[in-house]
């Protein structure tokens, strides 16, 4: 897209009025989206996008400018806008006197069935397979929406640190949403298989499986009774349950929140912040996982970062600015939605690691509680750690057995307190895909966890415990 010499000139222009660090991010993205609804192919859309952003960092201040025009003249002009915005007139601490060094492109996440050459007819058939499997689940299934998206994102990052990297990310994801209705009651279910890979995704996750699982979830919830309210033990199933850790703790482990004193984990490195059963990681190197990459959006090599081990807080995830300002190691978590955004510290694939217990034993050991099989999204206040999550598929646990399904349940609590209250962790680690939002930017992430139990959490429902 851009050669080393032009990148060097753009960065030099960006630093022409001073600054500590400057970088250039160039992106070319093509994407294809399909949507099957009411058994009709409705959305059949492809697009291509090109853009570049220039950033100048001076102390804690960042100036950023972007454009869709990546011609030489436009890139230099964009650099001048960023330079002018970063006024203040301090001397340049790092300047580019030698040529940029290109690091080798890496091929750690192999793509077998390339989205660009995979036939459109086949893509449509994948959606039809998910749709049929969902509709075959029973007469109460009234609506199925199956959507498929693939994208190829080629990025180039060059910085005044003297390096230039390229990374190509091919991603495919399917979203199946099923609506079931009976006697005026409406319930929904959904599944979202996705990978940093090509269409071989569906060998591992056949569309029928996604369709059936989403349908069964909706049908189960049709039979559900209103959830009870009040404090009780909560067993959170593996896979989607990881979203709780992501939201309630993960965001508070991002170094920008810590810097702004907007994190419950501020000043707690080396302290016990969780039950000794808890080991947690952020790992962008997991092969072909939805949240993985080779280099982050600032050109830092992807890494596996320990967050908590044995219940002790080990570190935070950061971006270039925070690692440089805080004097810590860059963890490779500087991510952005696209060239239109300034990179900020973001999670990649974040998970609580497997323990030794068996799921069956954990449930058998719970006299009364809630079994949260699927969690929807949630929200957290990073300053206080208070969170709320909706349970999209939940059951009561009575006398050590999974009992009746319940609907309308939410989990309400506090991240650090819930971490301390984890009293059992199973050996069945699994992952789920999501799009994480922060500062108005969405990036692909995986959340993961094994089955685990929190001694007590407040369940918000519409009835009293019986």
* Residues in region 168-187 near other proteins by CB under 8 A: 179, 181, 185-187
- Is the separation of the CB atoms in 441 and 341 below 8 Å? yes
State the nearest-atom distance from the C-beta of 452 to other proteins, in Å.
20
Among 135, 312, 408, 420, binds other proteins (CB under 8 A): 408
Nearer Cβ to other proteins (84/110): 84
Report residue 286 as tokens: 């997991």
Nearer Cβ to other proteins (102/420): 420
Strands 368-380 and 228-236: parallel
State the nearest-atom distance from the C-beta of 66 to other proteins, in Å.
6
Scan residues 316-355 and list those touching other proteins (CB under 8 A).
340, 342
- Is the separation of the CB atoms in 404 and 164 below 8 Å? no
Stretch that binds other proteins, among 67-75, 165-173, 195-203, 293-301 (CB under 8 A): 67-75
User: What CA–CA distance (Å, rounded) separates 87 from 7?
Assistant: 22
Residue reference for tokens 């330079």: 83
Scan residues 129-168 and list those touching other proteins (CB under 8 A).
142-143, 145
Nearer Cβ to other proteins (185/361): 185
Angle between helical axes of 120-135 and 207-222 (0-180°, round to 10): 30
Scan residues 240-269 and list those touching other proteins (CB under 8 A).
260-262
User: What CA–CA distance (Å, rounded) separates 25 from 336?
Assistant: 10
Residue reference for tokens 């508070």: 252
State the nearest-atom distance from the C-beta of 294 to other proteins, in Å.
25
User: What CA–CA distance (Å, rounded) separates 36 from 44?
Assistant: 9
Nearer Cβ to other proteins (180/274): 180
Stretch that binds other proteins, among 16-24, 78-86, 93-101, 202-210 (CB under 8 A): 78-86
Strand ranges for 4-114 from DSSP E:
21-37, 40-58, 61-67, 101-102
Among 67, 151, 285, 333, binds other proteins (CB under 8 A): 67
User: What CA–CA distance (Å, rounded) separates 184 from 234?
Assistant: 30
User: What CA–CA distance (Å, rounded) separates 10 from 2?
Assistant: 10
- Three-class SS state of 253: helix
Q: Residue count at the site for other proteins (CB under 8 A)? A: 78
Nearer Cβ to other proteins (4/69): 69
State the nearest-atom distance from the C-beta of 290 to other proteins, in Å.
19
Scan residues 354-393 and list those touching other proteins (CB under 8 A).
376-381, 383-384, 386-390
User: What CA–CA distance (Å, rounded) separates 168 from 29?
Assistant: 10
Find the distance separating the first CA and the last CA of the chain, reported in whole Å: 65
- Is the separation of the CB atoms in 369 and 227 below 8 Å? no
Binding track over 24-63 against other proteins, x by CB under 8 A: -------------xxxxxxxxxxxxxxx-------xxxxx
- Is the separation of the CB atoms in 262 and 383 below 8 Å? yes
- Is the separation of the CB atoms in 47 and 65 below 8 Å? no
State the nearest-atom distance from the C-beta of 104 to other proteins, in Å.
29
Nearer Cβ to other proteins (265/387): 387
Q: Does 108 bind other proteins (CB under 8 A)?
A: no
Q: Does 1 bind other proteins (CB under 8 A)?
A: no
Scan residues 268-297 and list those touching other proteins (CB under 8 A).
none
User: What CA–CA distance (Å, rounded) separates 222 from 224?
Assistant: 6
Q: Does 76 bind other proteins (CB under 8 A)?
A: no
State the nearest-atom distance from the C-beta of 41 to other proteins, in Å.
5
Q: Cα–chain-centroid distance for residue 159?
A: 26
Residue reference for tokens 């719970």: 366
State the nearest-atom distance from the C-beta of 87 to other proteins, in Å.
9
Scan residues 176-235 and list those touching other proteins (CB under 8 A).
179, 181, 185-188, 229-231
Nearer Cβ to other proteins (59/310): 59
Nearer Cβ to other proteins (76/388): 388
State the nearest-atom distance from the C-beta of 352 to other proteins, in Å.
20
State the nearest-atom distance from the C-beta of 366 to other proteins, in Å.
20
State the nearest-atom distance from the C-beta of 338 to other proteins, in Å.
10
Report residue 463 as tokens: 């009835």
Report residue 342 as tokens: 């300034």
- Is the separation of the CB atoms in 15 and 83 below 8 Å? yes
């Amino acid at each position: 897209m851009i050669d080393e010499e032009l990148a060097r000139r753009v960065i030099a222009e960006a630093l022409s009025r001073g600054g500590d660090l400057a970088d250039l991010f160039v992106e070319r993205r093509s994407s294809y989206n399909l949507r099957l609804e009411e058994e009709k192919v409705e959305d059949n859309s492809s697009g291509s996008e090109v853009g570049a952003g220039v950033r100048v960092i001076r102390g804690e201040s960042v100036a950023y400018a972007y454009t869709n025009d990546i011609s030489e003249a436009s890139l230099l002009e964009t650099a001048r806008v960023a330079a002018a915005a970063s006024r203040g007139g301090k001397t340049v601490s790092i300047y580019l006197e030698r040529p940029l060094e290109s690091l080798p492109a890496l091929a750690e996440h192999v793509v077998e069935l390339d989205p660009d050459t995979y036939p459109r007819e086949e893509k449509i058939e994948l959606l039809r397979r998910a749709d049929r499997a969902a509709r075959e689940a029973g007469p109460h299934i009234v609506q199925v929406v199956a959507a498929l998206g693939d994208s190829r994102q080629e990025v180039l990052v060059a910085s005044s640190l003297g390096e230039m990297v390229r990374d190509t990310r091919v991603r495919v994801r399917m979203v199946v949403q099923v609506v079931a209705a009976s006697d005026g009651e409406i319930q929904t279910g959904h599944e979202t298989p996705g990978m940093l890979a090509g269409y071989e995704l569906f060998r591992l996750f056949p569309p029928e499986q996604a369709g059936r699982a989403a349908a069964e979830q909706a049908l189960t919830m049709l039979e559900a009774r209103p959830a009870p309210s009040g404090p009780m033990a909560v067993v959170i199933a593996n896979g989607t349950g990881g979203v709780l850790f992501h939201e309630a703790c993960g965001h508070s482990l991002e170094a920008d929140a810590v810097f702004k004193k907007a994190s419950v984990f501020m000043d707690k490195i080396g302290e016990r912040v969780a039950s000794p059963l808890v080991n947690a990681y952020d790992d962008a190197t997991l092969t072909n996982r939805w949240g993985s990459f080779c280099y982050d959006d600032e050109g830092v090599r992807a890494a596996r970062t320990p967050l908590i081990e044995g219940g002790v807080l080990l570190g935070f995830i950061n971006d270039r600015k925070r690692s440089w300002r805080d004097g810590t190691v860059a963890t490779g978590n500087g991510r952005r939605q696209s060239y239109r955004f300034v990179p900020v510290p973001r999670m990649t694939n974040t998970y609580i690691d497997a323990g030794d217990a068996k799921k069956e034993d954990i449930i058998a050991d719970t006299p009364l509680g809630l079994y949260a099989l699927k969690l929807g999204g949630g929200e957290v206040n990073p300053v206080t750690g208070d969170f709320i999550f909706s349970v999209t598929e939940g059951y009561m646990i009575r006398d050590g057995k999974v009992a009746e399904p319940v609907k309308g349940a939410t989990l309400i609590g506090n991240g650090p307190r819930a971490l301390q209250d984890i009293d059992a962790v199973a050996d069945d680690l699994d992952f789920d895909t999501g799009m994480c939002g922060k500062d108005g930017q969405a990036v692909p992430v995986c959340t993961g966890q094994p089955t685990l139990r929190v001694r007590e959490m407040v369940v918000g429902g519409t009835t009293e415990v019986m």
